[in-house]
Structure 1
Amino acid sequence: MFLHPEAQFYLDSLPALSPQEELTFGKDIPQPAAEQSHLAKDQLIAGVPVRIYSPRTLPENELLPALIYFHGGGWSGGNPAMIDGLVRSLVSDLDIIAISVDYRLAPEHPFPAAFEDSLAVCRTVLSGETDLALDPTRVAVAGDSAGGNLAAVMAQQLKSHSPTFAHQVLVYPVSNLTDTNSPSYQKFGEGYYLTAAAMQRYIDQYAGTHDLADPRLSPAFASDLSGLAPATFVLAECDVLAHEGRAYAQALLGAGNSVTLAEFMGQLHAFLNLGTLSTDARAARRFIRAQLEAALISEESYKA
């Protein structure tokens, strides 16, 4: 399997990572000043810590669309500060409010803690019960890795809520906790940054003895996948999660949902975090940003 030259360089330059260091790979890469178009403020929504990014210049008497973002880290690491640059880049120069959720982490807080925190924030935002000048009819949910899992679950849990999400962005999401022997796990389980052993450890810490086929853990097992928000997927080819990401995208499409998928060949899990160092990361961020702009801001989104 051929790695992207940049991915190979990152892999060759990495020291042997401890389990905790695996969770923070690439998340402290400095971001360019051009991505400082939003002001950040830490507060609570429904009792859950969040970081709010608001445009520096707010339009008068106008409700803005919003993006709710869940960080990755195996449900047991990461926080909004570690993905500050990533979230900023997704809404850079757009009149979109971003909400980065600091959900509780395993193993101290196993399932359903992260699920409950995520649901509380999303339900409160969609119900218009925050002090933010946002339009609850134009809210997208997004996340990467374990955060992509939470975003997918939120889209399912709140699909009958009125209003519901206008879009979902799933970046190499965990969608099936029951299968750590998929073709991707077999091919990329060792030597491609995120190992099969590490992924199994994260699953064990988060899910414990809970039924892994519970759709709140494995969104691929939902009995009805119809009627979900249009979905944008970003996948990395050389990733243990690639197979289940493709399978979940195909399942959503088969259920009649709108699905757009971009897979970055030769890339590793977590490549999106390497914004200033990776051409693919920058391209993926621009792609997501364009998808959000089309879904939340364009004239077509108002007509939907």
Structure 2
Amino acid sequence: MPLHPEIAKIVATIPAPPPGPIDPAMLRAGEESMVAPLGERLSLHSVEDAMAGDVPVRIYSASEASAGVLVYFHGGAFFLGSLETHDHVARALAKETGLTVVAVGYRRAPEAAFPAGLDDCYSVVRWAAENLVAVGGILAIAGDSSGGTFVATVAGIAHDDGFERITHQVLFYPSLDLDFDTERYPSLTENAVGYGLETAGLTPFNAFYIESGADPADPRVSPIKRADLTGLPQALIITAEFDPLRDEGELYAERLREAGVDVTLTRYAGANHGFVQNFSWIPEYYRAFEQTAEFLAKP
């Protein structure tokens, strides 16, 4: 199917990027200015800002009872995104899953060099296991785009450390290979222009992270390069039809299956990169939250 008409209307209004270097402060301010006022956000039983050690987190509960915890890593090419810009995503995850959602305010490039943000995400998962998850309870991790990078990497690091508490991993249109050679995946060419995220923008937008010391050949940076995927938690991987990153997410699902990991892979037709954050007001794309809930209900 073609790009969803509601998405196409908005994509058509996106201006060309300004000439010159990317200004992180300007882009962050632009994102923050679009956040809905508190009174217009989905109401939950409780939303609390806290600290997980040295890392700021926001904890969401849809009710007093919870079967476990979902630790959520926001996207934003490792330099954008925040607890505020992705607050609506965390609220929807809490509502639909019934789990306690812990959103992570990890350190971002270029101010914080690799692996600061990754370390923050992993430390919050360990903190949640120690402080919020009952014995036998769910401890899931989820993330969109570059947050999906952190999900895949944290799952691998935890396994290598012998930390086997993570029960599920959820990756929304993940960025799994920071080698942006356009010959690597057909979707980098097929979806290169006209769908919001463009292939030509991948290198400059990820430059802050890479220039901070994140080597694309390192499996902690490009988790699709991890040699051994056996023993990782069961995975839900959601991709978008018109996303340059589509094929790497789907290849990762295939590699996980080959390693014996239980994988659910869904490609959302008519969707573009970022649809969970930007277009979940469209009913067929809000479905991603409902599908996440169904997946997390699996033993």
Band of TM-score, shorter chain: 0.7 to 0.9
Provide the secondary structure at the position in 2 that maps to 1:92: helix
Structure 2 partner of 1:183: 186
- The answer on whether the counterparts of 2:139 and 2:166 sit within 8 Å (CA) in structure 1 is yes
CA distance in 2: counterparts of 1:135 and 1:26, whole angstroms:
41
Structure 2 partner of 1:230: 234
Is 1:257 the counterpart of 2:223? The answer is no
Structure 2 partner of 1:45: 52
Is 1:243 the counterpart of 2:244? The answer is no
What aligned pairs does 1:287-298 form with structure 2 within 5 A after superposition?
Answer: 287-292=291-296, 294-295=297-298
CA distance in 1: counterparts of 2:236 and 2:272, whole angstroms:
19
Q: How many Å apart are 1:15 and its aligned residue? A: 3.9
What aligned pairs does 1:1-304 form with structure 2 within 5 A after superposition?
Answer: 2-16=2-16, 20=27, 24=31, 28=35, 35-56=42-63, 58-59=64-65, 64-92=67-95, 94-126=97-129, 128=130, 130=131, 132=132, 134-135=134-135, 137-159=137-159, 161-181=162-182, 182-208=185-211, 210-275=214-279, 277-292=281-296, 294-295=297-298, 301=299
Q: How many Å apart are 1:41 and its aligned residue? A: 0.9
CA distance in 2: counterparts of 1:32 and 1:254, whole angstroms:
47
Relative to the length of structure 1, the TM-score reads 0.85
Count of matched residue pairs: 288
CA distance in 1: counterparts of 2:290 and 2:239, whole angstroms:
14
- The answer on whether the counterparts of 2:67 and 2:137 sit within 8 Å (CA) in structure 1 is no
Letter in 1 for 2:223: P
CA distance in 2: counterparts of 1:248 and 1:23, whole angstroms:
33
CA distance in 2: counterparts of 1:236 and 1:32, whole angstroms:
31
CA distance in 2: counterparts of 1:21 and 1:118, whole angstroms:
20
Provide the secondary structure at the position in 2 that maps to 1:105: coil
Question: What are the ranges of 5 or more consecutive residues in structure 1 without an aligned counterpart?
Answer: 296-300
Name which of structure 1's ranges 196-205 and 138-147 shifts more when overlaid on structure 2.
196-205
Query: Over residues 41-67 of structure 1, what are the superposed CA-to-partner deviations in whole Å (9 max), with x where a residue is unaligned?
Result: 1111121111111234x24xxx74000
1:125–1:197 Cα change, 3 Å: same
Query: Over residues 189-241 of structure 1, what are the superposed CA-to-partner deviations in whole Å (9 max), with x where a residue is unaligned?
Result: 22211122321123221022543121110111112101111100111111111
